[in-house]
A and B are shown apart, each in its own frame.
Chain A
Amino acid sequence: MNRHGVMLTAGFAVWASAFVLLYAMLSVGCRFGWHEMAFAGTSLQRVQLAVILLVHVAAGAAIVWMLGGQGNRADGTAIFMRRAGYAAALAALASTLFSFGGVFFLSTCH
């Protein structure tokens, strides 16, 4: 069950991690004025938020890719959980992009 539980929730766990880190680091960056520090053609604030988001998108995509495989086709429970986990991971990946895509273009600290 532990393995199956991880399958079901891995995608949204990545979404949750992205949420916590982005919200926390946004607050830290705004407090320390990172949005006013130029870095790589934009602000340090935007760069660090974008990196956090991209790392999580990559992790979410990796989970989708892993769960998209065949797995153990003899075990009905495993097949069910893998397919459910795959759908959940896809939904989580889309949610990650939709929820946090604003880090690329919205003003960060106003």
Chain B
Amino acid sequence: MTDKPPMDSPIRLHKQLAAIWDTPPGWGRLSAVNHTILGKRFMIAAFVFFAIGGLLAMLIRVQIATSGTAFVGPDVYAQIFTMHGTVMMFLFAIPMFEGLAIYLLPKILGTRDLAFPRLTAYGFWCYVFGGSILIVAMLAGVAPNSGWFMYTPLSSSTYTPGINADVWLLGITFVEISAMSAAIEITVSILKLRAPHMSIERMPIMAWYLLITALMMLFGFPPLILGSILLELERAFDLPFFDPTRGGDSLLWQHLFWLFGHPEVYIIFLPAAGAVSMMIPTFARHELVGYRSVIVAVIAVAFLSFGLWVHHMFTVGIPHLALAFFSAASGLVAIPTAVQIFAWIATLAQGRPRYDVPMLYLGGFFVIFILGGLTGVMLAMVPFNWQAHDTHFVVAHLHYVLVGGFVFPMMAAIYYWLPHMTGRLSDHRLSVPAFWLIFGGFNVTFFLMHLTGLLGMPRRVATYPAEAGWDWLNLLSSVGSFLMTIGFALFVMDLVVQVRFGKPFRRNPWHARTLEWAMPTPPPSYAFASLPKVTDRADRIDADSEAAALAAGRGYLGQARNGWQEILDVDMSSGRPLAIVVLPRRTYKPLVSGLLTGCFVLCLLFKFYWLSLLFLAFAIASLLAWSAGTGLKEDMGDLPIGHGEMAPTHWESDRPPSWWAMALACSADATLYASLLFGALFLWLVAPGWPPETVAGPAIAPVIVAAIAVVLAAMAGRRAVSALQQQVAPKLWLLTAGLAQLVASLAFGFMAAQVPEPTSHAQQATLFVILAYGGIRAAIGVLLAGFGLWRNHAGYLSARRSLDLRIGRIWHDYSCATGIVGLMAAMLLAYLAGNVEAPR
């Protein structure tokens, strides 16, 4: 903070920045793209869904409080428990962590916003609209009713003929747009938008947790999205991916679901653990012990969590050696988790801990999560798992893990960071009794459920006979659940009291040493008036003195320029400033795109397929329209960024955040495609009913045409970039790329259309999807080539400003590689199905 102060006073700088960054009141609120606003909206919406999920839990506990209850019938009960799980997992846990990450991440990284503010807003609208579809369906009595993991064949059209399962498949996929967009945004923001000179080993520990979680989401969610698409295709168009009578296999659904589903547990837990790792050092008054060990542990958890999904499927008849692989990984994952717990305990032991309410909730986290971890190790052991499978013991275990590992840390986090959001402190009169009611009620509810499970009570039964002897345990569980609910009601009341009547404070009430406290509270829309230069670990900040210097504009970008929302793009490792990222300002475009996407989903839900294509086109057009007005029409060169340093705008830099976002999007898509190919091979190898009577395969001529076209498109995409960089018009090359992608798209489409009767057998169905998917990717290539032509025509491109074409080049290269792989896979599958018959 040694740079010469700028001419503006802190107040004048505040006014100038606020004029650029603020969101207007009234209807203007719908145009918000600011991370502080959207982070809070995500969290509030998640809490609303949590309340709905909690209400459903109460209904469950009423229904099974005693034997023979006739409170609701089995049909309604199936909807209730399905929606409880679905709401809590997809509409509460993930969005809650996303909201906290969106709110906090720029602040702990020392920057002003996330990489793609409009994407944040679009994700929020997709989340709210998708969640609303599910809730409205529930109110209409057509909620999903096949369990939150939607096992086939129960969820197939034969056994669930209404739209209940479609609501889940389409609604959740809609919501997952928000999860995928958040994953890309969080990853790019952490890697590229940190405060200047915050090298990777100086990052606050929560940034590590969120980075690893976001990467897990990028590779964990695509299998679920693929599974949902395939199941919806089966339900809507009778493509038999999961139908064993036609070469499908319901186990394929289980693999795809749990390949997402178990990492999901850690995707929920790790951000909460990141918050714990921020709070404990503050209250221990000692920096986190074992910072590097914790990072290694989190990496180990991330990888191991992808190798234990089959412990949900131990009873389906998989070879014992495979069970041993998954059992070992399931047990192993406890070790890096324990490393983190020991690091937190060591931090408390090394420091001088002081008590406050967040610590009380963290105590609850320790007790409950460790108990859940221990029962997790029990369930990782195959013989025990076989005994306890699908009983209430598993229900108890998963609630100990998820409530202990997520809800309690999140409540601690709310008490810790709510003063940051509101500028007010709690008097904590309600928070302590609320804790004991929640903690006590939780343990009464779920500890006893271990016993009901061990006594043999299965999950998801709407009622049970009195002779089973489970009455008194269930009744006590239900009493405990109502105590817990009273506790949550008190918790909410406490938050309301704090927000409305809490005592104002000036700054940093916890004496924390991280950057989010080096700003006014509640935070201004621009977060930091100027960006800090970080020269030590970011959890060793003197927040009070740093805040004053930053507010005075003595950091980077301590000025308002051109009405731009400016942040800095830095080198991923060293944190050296590379470019000025000019963020888009408030706009209604994400809302419009979200609405159009919602209309598309609703059309699919009500089977207006032709109309859905129209809304799909509108939605894509609206997304493309985001770029209108963004960019430069002349080269700006390097601009001053403070501290005597210069940097170009991101449009003139080498690999800004948007470049990485495209690369990550391709990685996620590649995961989805690899899952599809895995699924096709799995069916050939394992599913009954193979080989099909008629083996389908692509004709060689269109295969050659498609292969040549995707290669040509990739080459033309590359030549367009190099031509532009040599100050030669790229128009011809872009036209070539677009036409080649069009030919490829038509060739793939032709081959897909030639597949005989895709509904007759899974071989034809998978072949159809593999080829159609290649066509869709090529069609996106057409759009991107056209987009490049438009940007060139509109004057946004120059030798220095070639970013748009370089992003397009990534896609052309990617669609070339996956197109070739897809063609080879299509031919290989046809060969295997026709010539290599596996003994069954």
Binding site for B on A (CB under 8 A): 1-2, 4, 8-9, 12-13, 15-16, 19, 22-23, 26-28, 30-33, 49, 76-77, 80-81, 83-84, 87-88, 91-92, 95, 98-100, 102-103, 106-110
Contacts and interface: CB of A to CB of B under 8 A. Distances in A.
A108 B321 contact: yes
B307 interface: yes
A84 B336 CA distance: 14
Contact of B303 (A15, A87, A98): A15
B299 A27 contact: no
B838 interface: yes
Given A31-B838, A33-B839, A76-B201, A100 B325 contact: yes
Nearest to A28: B685
Interface in B180-200: 191, 199-200
A1 B296 CA distance: 16
B665 to A, nearest CB: 18
Contacts of B552: none
Interface residues of B, number: 34
Q: Report whether over half of chain B's contact residues are helix, strand or loop; otherwise say mixed.
A: helix
18 contacts: A1-B572, A8-B299, A19-B325, A22-B325, A26-B319, A31-B839, A32-B839, A76-B199, A77-B201, A81-B573, A87-B292, A91-B336, A92-B300, A92-B303, A95-B304, A98-B328, A100-B325, A102-B321
B329 interface: yes
Contacts of B321: 26, 49, 102-103, 106-109
Given A77-B200, A84-B296, A92-B303, A99 B320 contact: no
Contacts of A4: 200, 572-573
A91 B298 CA distance: 12
A108 to B, nearest CB: 5
A8 to B, nearest CB: 6
Nearest to A102: B324
Contacts of A26: 319, 321-322
The prevalent SS among residues of A at the interface is helix
A9 B306 CA distance: 14
A108 B318 CA distance: 11
A16 B839 contact: no
A85 B566 CA distance: 34
Contacts of B320: 106-107, 110
B306 A16 contact: yes
Interface of B: 191, 199-201, 292-293, 295-296, 299-300, 302-304, 306-307, 319-322, 324-325, 328-329, 332, 336, 571-574, 685-686, 838-840
Contact of B319 (A30, A87, A88, A98): A30
Contacts of A107: 320-321
Nearest to A83: B292
A102 B319 contact: no
A69 B6 CA distance: 47
Contacts of B200: 1, 4, 77, 80-81
A99 B686 CA distance: 24
The list of the 5 closest CB pairs from A to B, nearest first, reads A1-B572, A80-B201, A12-B303, A99-B328, A102-B324
Given A12-B303, A26-B321, 13 more contacts: A12-B299, A16-B307, A23-B322, A32-B838, A76-B199, A77-B199, A77-B574, A80-B292, A84-B292, A87-B296, A91-B300, A95-B300, A107-B321
A100 B304 CA distance: 13
A9 B571 CA distance: 19
Contacts of B686: 27, 31
A106 B319 CA distance: 10
Nearest to B573: A1
A99 B319 contact: no
Nearest to B299: A88
A87 B299 CA distance: 11
Given A32-B839, A83-B292, A88 B325 contact: no
Contacts of B295: 84
Residue from B199, B336, B839 having most chain A Cβ neighbours under 10 A: B199
Which of B325, B332, B838 has its CB near the most chain A CB atoms (within 10 A)?
B325
Contact of A99 (B296, B300, B325): B325
